[in-house]
Structure 1
Amino acid sequence: MPWANLLQPDLILGSSILDLTPERLQENNLKGLVLDVDDTLVPVSMTEASPELREWVNAVRPTVNLWLVSNNISQVRISRIAKSLNAPYILGAGKPSRRKLRQAVTAMGLPAHQVAMVGDRLFTDVLAGNRLGMFTILVEPMVNPARVSHRHVLRDFEVWLSQSLGATLPFEQQNATNPDKL
């Protein structure tokens, strides 16, 4: 599979995960979500889920199964976030490896194409999800309000490199669905 396809999300949200609605999940026939943690759900500099994130989880939970799958190896941090969201989790995933994603999808009892990998990074989250045949959703990173000026230099580089390799990443369009992958 060409790099452009491996790095191409099925859906570019153009905002944080908080704008991923149950209706959008149903439109795409999604029954499960594998959620990255660091900067997708919680800014990496914070150790707790926000009240807004907990509300979002409660809103989507009737629509989809949820699993947290993180490359982070901090048992204390990830388990605390998972517990506050009442969600199962896997840490030390080593994305873009598919192994831990497959473990979460298998635990949900769903086919991979009905589960979305949701994350803020192309070379870990999107690449891993696409390699497994999952629906992939790229979201904007969560920002710590105390560090609003914090730039995501590595993510910006990944976007530039992915575009150079042929991926279509129309960040100027909010909620862009990739018609080539439907």
Structure 2
Amino acid sequence: MLSPPPVPLFPRASPLPSPPRASNPNGTDPTTAAAGAGMGAAAWWRRSLGQRFNPAGVAAVAAVAVSEPRLALPHVSLQDIRWLDWGELRRAGFRGVVFDKDNTLTAPYAPGLWPPLAAAFDQCRAAFPPGSLAVYSNSAGLKQYDPDGLEAAVIEATIQGVHVIRHDIKKPGGEAKEIESYFGCSASNLVLVGDRYFTDVVYGNRNGFFTVLTEPLNFANESFIVRKVRKFETYIVNYWYRKGHRPIKHPLLPDARQIVKFDPYKDPMAPGA
């Protein structure tokens, strides 16, 4: 069985032992159970099963594997959003940030922000003008699962300062029209943060975003199938790195190192150190 590899700041040519790192609290988020109960058991299972099989994701894997593997390679990989320097992203010319939701900002299906990320999210809100943060997720905002927008409204009320963008097509399918319409700018002026190579990163790179990959926050609440798919994605991406593929250069930020706040392996002030 493949073990989850370390998430480097930048891609490595070959796997190396994982260095010591600041702790990433992966306990159970108490809001998860409430989220499942609030949406009803039947709705929860429909969503869960729907997310486990994503035809657009399957098609994307095939297309990327055949044509352009670098579409699955993020511009930068970090443990979580605490490692991002939001001020540097703003100074580089980015006009907003688009987050995936589950296991990027919240535990799976939970409406509330993962507590250890609260300070980093406050820093993000401070760096960007009001209305510049959004969620674009295959759960929240997807009309298939939330046709009346009720759950999107709950998330917006729970995570202050974020707007949930409604959309019809699961990532990585579809274009960025809804996002560009909300922000009033090209996707190339936006940052996309997510935890999946073949959904978040492929979608972001296909549409011109600056892509940031973070580690999932809570494996405990994630389905067995999704965990297996994650391992498969990581295996394929590591293979492409070893073959010499590298991320697409982004015009606003050719060197992603400038938006890394610090090296969490050395800085004593790193989160959880």
* TM-score normalised by length of structure 1: 0.76
Asked if 1:79 corresponds to 2:144, the answer is no
Correspondence 1:30-179 to 2 at 5 A: 30-44=94-108, 46-64=110-128, 65-72=132-139, 73-74=145-146, 75-86=149-160, 87-91=162-166, 93-99=169-175, 101-143=176-218, 147=220, 152-164=227-239, 166-167=240-241
CA contact (8 A) 2:95 2:190 kept: yes
Which structure: larger Rg?
A: 2
Judged with a 3 Å threshold, the aligned counterparts in structure 2 of structure 1 residues 76 and 9 are, in CA distance, closer, same or farther, namely same
Structure having the higher strand fraction is 1
Judged with a 3 Å threshold, the aligned counterparts in structure 2 of structure 1 residues 81 and 139 are, in CA distance, closer, same or farther, namely same
Task: Report the counterpart of residue 80 of structure 2 in structure 1.
Answer: 16
- Which deviates more from structure 2 when the two are superposed, residues 68-77 or residues 21-30? 21-30
Give the number of equivalent residue pairs: 169
CA contact (8 A) 1:114 1:134 kept: yes
Cα RMSD (Å) of the superposition? 3.0
Question: How far apart are 1:39 and its partner, in Å?
Answer: 0.9
- Which deviates more from structure 2 when the two are superposed, residues 88-97 or residues 4-13? 88-97
CA contact (8 A) 2:111 2:158 kept: no
Judged with a 3 Å threshold, the aligned counterparts in structure 2 of structure 1 residues 27 and 18 are, in CA distance, closer, same or farther, namely same
Question: How far apart are 1:95 and its partner, in Å?
Answer: 0.3
Judged with a 3 Å threshold, the aligned counterparts in structure 2 of structure 1 residues 160 and 31 are, in CA distance, closer, same or farther, namely same
Task: Report the counterpart of residue 3 of structure 1 in structure 2.
Answer: 68
Structure with larger RCO (C-alpha < 8 A, sep 6+): 1
Task: Structure 1: state its 5+ residue gaps.
Answer: 169-176
CA offsets, 1:98-139, max 9 Å, x none? 33x331133112222220111000111000111101111111
CA offsets, 1:118-175, max 9 Å, x none? 100011100011110111111111127xx399883322211112233x247xxxxxxx
Judged with a 3 Å threshold, the aligned counterparts in structure 2 of structure 1 residues 77 and 16 are, in CA distance, closer, same or farther, namely farther
Give the AA of the match of 1:129.
G
Percentage of matched positions with identical amino acids = 26
- Which deviates more from structure 2 when the two are superposed, residues 66-75 or residues 48-57? 48-57
Judged with a 3 Å threshold, the aligned counterparts in structure 2 of structure 1 residues 178 and 89 are, in CA distance, closer, same or farther, namely same
Judged with a 3 Å threshold, the aligned counterparts in structure 2 of structure 1 residues 82 and 114 are, in CA distance, closer, same or farther, namely same
Counterparts of 2:206 and 2:249 in 1: how far apart (Å)?
16
* TM-score normalised by length of structure 2: 0.53
CA contact (8 A) 1:40 1:120 kept: yes
